[in-house]
Structure 1
Amino acid sequence: MAALRYVNDSIPGIRRRKCGKGYAFYYPDGSRVTQSDELQRIKSLRIPPAYHSVWICPFANGHIQATGRDARNRKQYHYHPLWREVRDRLKFTSMTDFGRAISTIRSHIAYELRKPPSLNKKQIICAIIYLLDKSGVRIGNKIYAKENKTYGITTLRKKHLSINGSRAIFSFTGKNSKAWEIVLDNKKIIKILKKCEEIPGYEIFKYYDENNNVNCITSQDINYYLQSLTGLPLTAKDFRTWIASRESFCRFLSASFSETDSAAKIKSIIKEVAELLGHTPTICQKNYIFPEIITSWGDGRLERWLNVNAESIRQANKDNLFLMWLESLQP
């Protein structure tokens, strides 16, 4: 990490210009990039031709190596391999903190949902967090909702909700064309959802502000609320990471290890968890499953931990069980 330089694309960078069937690259001072090692670095980034507003870091050790805008005008980043490696290792370091905070989050959510149904921002946010925790659904992205007709919790519309007596069902298509059906029988949540349906507009999760204006809940609202509540840098995505890792952990915990079919078992469990959350298996393993789970299962440490803690394990729910194991990894 010390060898990397922290940068952003506001500093002058290398620009590319169309040249024949390819591109020429120019430094901030206008001189053309001709050094073979620098051209090889740029080539290795594999920046798609469709990108526009491309910025390339002038430093080989910049933690961001390039940025650009894709066909949908979304900003895309190309990171230094070392930065990706460190970031991937660190992304799971907050998992123990999340596991310790989850009971506080749930207690707070339950308290807010016990209040009479209202259309204030806090209660609507708490209803969304309840659904994130129960289902592991994505938080939602307006661009995907508009262009792909795929939805997450904050972009759900009234057409996705049906309420029949004491049961509510969300039916919608999520990212990766995952068909979701979330069934709810929580009476307090259902009362809030009925209130939400009364607000004009397509979206479900809206609220009235102090000026009686209608506003939609955003992912930023959810993240800020979680961070204010816990004092931790949590986001909505942490629920999906927790659920994916917890479910993987419980499955590996009950799976006996065998050299002959270990690869098949790993593949099967990852596929099962990926389908649960609407991921591809590759993305699920890389971004959502704590790598130490698979490593510990393969080298026998998970089985030894299970044998040592058999009595405590019998009395623990899945969340507490996973947290117990995570805490056992602490130095």
Structure 2
Amino acid sequence: AGRRRYHYHTAFRERQDAAKHEHVQRVARSLPRLRQHVERDIAGRGLSRPRVLACLTRLLDLGFLRVGGDGYARDNGSFGLTTLLREHADCRGGEIRLHYPAKSGKEVTRALVDEQAYKVVRALLRRSNPDSRLFVYWEHAEWHELHGNDLNAYLRDRSGQDVTAKDFRTWYATVLAAVALAVSDNTTDASAAHRSRVVARAVREVSGYLGNTPAVCRASYIDPRVIELYDQGGTIAAALGELGRDVTFGHPATHGRVGRAVLHLLGSGGP
């Protein structure tokens, strides 16, 4: 009976994981539409709600960041994108620098370059009100805080899909893993032990970007089909070759051709 329950639980978990990754692929196909809306909103004037939400989305899209929760910030002193304080950000030389304590006490450091987001974050840092919260907006002659549910509502509205901030991390974990495997020194006659080492190294690299342990990263974020296909000789190496020789793992250009190549690898086509 115990063995049957174990197999049932394993099969149930596999079905859940498959459904999750299918959902994330639908999210990935909606990203071009979302980015078009973000481009329009972030080009606005002032610190309006749409413009600041577009800035949050741009940073989420570039930095693989957790969205953050007010309870964690209040009770544990751990932060995410929407709960960042002004002291956690700095704008210098066109670069947005973020440094803050995140989940499980991990220190997160990001240096992001985006001209439009830079202008918004710099304006937020320079605003006159004393609130320590970084991401706020001005409406009806007063400042309002933004929270994770506000960002998720914006993502759903602008993408036309049931998108959450966490979907970005799941998708980019898969994309980054696909890139790491594609640039490895794999050959079709490589031993199973060699391929296993390559996979382990790729998972460690992705976990470093996400701030998870390798075990959590592989179990909960990376689509297992990317690893299965790698074992069968399938990677996105050709797409990386078309981008040029300077493409390296971890480059923020996880959009465009690279994202489409991962969708194609997984058999779902591209946007």
What is the TM-score normalised by the length of structure 1? 0.68
Taking a change above 3 Å as real, the CA distance of residues 296 and 187 of structure 1, as seen in their structure-2 partners, is: closer
Matches of 1:162 and 1:290, distance apart in 2 = 34
Matches of 1:180 and 1:100, distance apart in 2 = 28
Deviation at 1:161, TM superposition (A): 1.4
Choose the corresponding residue for 1:324, options 259, 264, 271: 264
The alignment status of 1:131 with 2:59, answered yes or no, reads yes
Deviation at 1:329, TM superposition (A): 7.6
Larger Rg: 1
Taking a change above 3 Å as real, the CA distance of residues 261 and 317 of structure 1, as seen in their structure-2 partners, is: same
Matches of 2:194 and 2:10, distance apart in 1 = 32
Counterparts of residues 84-163 of structure 1 (less than 5 Å)? 84-116=13-45, 118-163=46-91
Choose the corresponding residue for 1:204, options 130, 134, 153: 134
Choose the corresponding residue for 1:267, options 197, 200, 214: 200
The alignment status of 1:187 with 2:115, answered yes or no, reads yes
Taking a change above 3 Å as real, the CA distance of residues 289 and 183 of structure 1, as seen in their structure-2 partners, is: same
Q: Which amino acid aligns with 2:258?
A: K
Q: Which amino acid aligns with 1:214?
A: W
What is the count of residue pairs matched by the alignment? Answer: 248
Deviation at 1:187, TM superposition (A): 3.2
Choose the corresponding residue for 2:146, options 217, 222, 227: 217
Q: Which amino acid aligns with 1:270?
A: V
Q: Which amino acid aligns with 1:196?
A: L
Counterparts of residues 166-315 of structure 1 (less than 5 Å)? 166-197=94-125, 198=127, 199-210=129-140, 212-255=141-184, 256=186, 257-300=190-233, 302=234, 310=238, 314=242
Matches of 2:35 and 2:210, distance apart in 1 = 21
Q: Which amino acid aligns with 2:144?
A: N
Contact between 1:248 and 1:269, CA under 8 Å: does it hold in 2? yes
Cα offsets for 1:272-310 (capped at 9, x unmatched): 11011100111101111001011111133x15x86xxx4
Matches of 1:184 and 1:85, distance apart in 2 = 35
Structure 2 residue matching 1:202: 3-state secondary structure: coil
Matches of 1:311 and 1:187, distance apart in 2 = 27
Structure 1 residue matching 2:78: 3-state secondary structure: coil
The unaligned stretches of length 5 or more in structure 1 are: 1-36, 45-60, 62-79
Matches of 2:133 and 2:264, distance apart in 1 = 39
Taking a change above 3 Å as real, the CA distance of residues 162 and 313 of structure 1, as seen in their structure-2 partners, is: closer
Two-structure CA RMSD over aligned residues (Å): 2.7
Deviation at 1:165, TM superposition (A): 4.7
More helix by proportion, 1 or 2?
2
Q: Which amino acid aligns with 1:327?
A: G
Structure 2 residue matching 1:260: 3-state secondary structure: helix
Structure 2 residue matching 1:170: 3-state secondary structure: strand
Structure 1 residue matching 2:266: 3-state secondary structure: helix
Contact between 1:96 and 1:327, CA under 8 Å: does it hold in 2? no
Taking a change above 3 Å as real, the CA distance of residues 292 and 167 of structure 1, as seen in their structure-2 partners, is: closer
Contact between 2:68 and 2:79, CA under 8 Å: does it hold in 1? yes
Q: Which amino acid aligns with 2:154?
A: Y
More strand by proportion, 1 or 2?
1
Q: Which amino acid aligns with 2:16?
A: R
Question: Sequence identity of aligned pairs in percent?
Answer: 25
Matches of 2:14 and 2:94, distance apart in 1 = 48
Contact between 2:239 and 2:258, CA under 8 Å: does it hold in 1? no
Taking a change above 3 Å as real, the CA distance of residues 190 and 328 of structure 1, as seen in their structure-2 partners, is: closer
Contact between 1:176 and 1:279, CA under 8 Å: does it hold in 2? no
Matches of 2:54 and 2:148, distance apart in 1 = 13
- Structure with higher RCO (Cα < 8 A, 6+ apart): 2
Q: Which amino acid aligns with 2:259?
A: D
Matches of 2:239 and 2:142, distance apart in 1 = 55
Contact between 1:227 and 1:234, CA under 8 Å: does it hold in 2? yes
Q: Which amino acid aligns with 2:106?
A: K
Deviation at 1:204, TM superposition (A): 0.5
Deviation at 1:133, TM superposition (A): 0.5
Structure 1 residue matching 2:65: 3-state secondary structure: coil
